[in-house]
Structure 1
Amino acid sequence: MEVGSKFLLAVLRKKIEDGGLCYSALSEKSGIPLSSIKRHLHNPSLGLDKVLLYLNYLNTDLIELANLANQLQHENEQMLTQEQSALFLEHPYLLDFIYMVTSRNLAPKEIAQMYGLTETSLRFYLRIAEMLGYVEDFGDGLFYRSGRRFLLEEGSALDSLFRERFQKESLSHNINPGICVGRIRLTDS
């Protein structure tokens, strides 16, 4: 599984803290302006060269960083609770909306335009997503918790619903995709 940049940066910041360094000390050691370090360590598009530069000052390597980031990412994976499963089973389009915002990184306005949602519906979806912890509203903008994954209990009603929807959508095209859901190959029968 791919490790998210958010987790790599979180581990990098943690390593700086654990190493007894602060951003200003790292700035002095590296000769990189403090404002650039702050910007770099919160930029998900940070280049590999910069990551390696910071790792050099922390006496660690990319493999250790990736392993720690992978561990952190797995700690953030949680099965949906029974209450969440019941809610999403009753309102599957809410889970679709949250998935599009957090995993596909689509802007809420773009989703609203794509699916014809009213402003009220959009606010309703965003408020529920915030109550469930998938979105945070800071007033000046939304923050999407894109690290969380939707892990469904295999065989649950919600799992069955989404498997059926996926199979129906996949098989509705003229050319069937050669993919598998779990251990079940999708075929016409």
Structure 2
Amino acid sequence: MRAANPEYLLAALRGVIKAKGLTYKELADRLGVPLSTFKRHLYSPSITLEKLLDYCLEADTTLEELQKLAIKLQHDNDSFFSHTQDEVFYQFPQLYDFYRELRHLRHQDSYEHMQQKYGLDNSSTYAYLRALEMLGLVKLADDNKIQLIGPYYYRFSDDSKLSQKYKEILKEQALENPNCVRVGFSRMYLKEEQLEALNKLLAKEVLKYHSENMQNDATSQELLRNVLLFVTQHQPLAFSEGIASLPNSFLQDVKAAIANFEEQGA
């Protein structure tokens, strides 16, 4: 059996605790550790094996059972950002904006493209890429070629800070758009299964039109839309105020943040 990533072992343990109806406070009291410390341990990939075994014992599970659950979680969720990646991107949103655009570039000269488009000097360009390398998302070569690591598309988990921020920004964009197209009905008598049928019908029709336009090469920027039961003109969604030159302390700050998220519970 292949070993699961430590983050998924901890996610599996949190799942076991929830499934058994236990509370973090209850387990922390049994173990004689502060609640805040116990919570940090449950999200720290650098947790010691001894602590993990202690927590398994209190949660009435075994490391072998946890491993099986963790491997399934890892298989199902390989496209999710890890807890550390999510936290670092949330703390340094310009780094996420840089990474998102980098992943969608189709040519090989992405280093030069990002540098020229945003007026970045060599130091800032390298700092962005080195930070992404520290997060395990890219690999840098000596000739400035960039190898992307992981699946092409990443998703936000339900409890992700990035997910919440994305929804807030998208909602604000949509609702404040003066040209927003809305269709509203009031006092409609609809059953839950009928609402579900409408959701499926709408999704099917939207995807059909999207596929037709893609096949016809009608992919201009003017046609991009956000569809959220109302339609708005698409706007680039940025988490930061823009990709710009970085302070000299940026890499040191990112390194410290990664260490904090991964080692605070060690």
The alignment's TM-score, normalised by the length of structure 2, stands at 0.35
Higher RCO by CA contacts (8 Å cutoff, separation 6 or greater) = 2
The alignment's TM-score, normalised by the length of structure 1, stands at 0.47
Q: Which has the larger radius of gyration?
A: 2
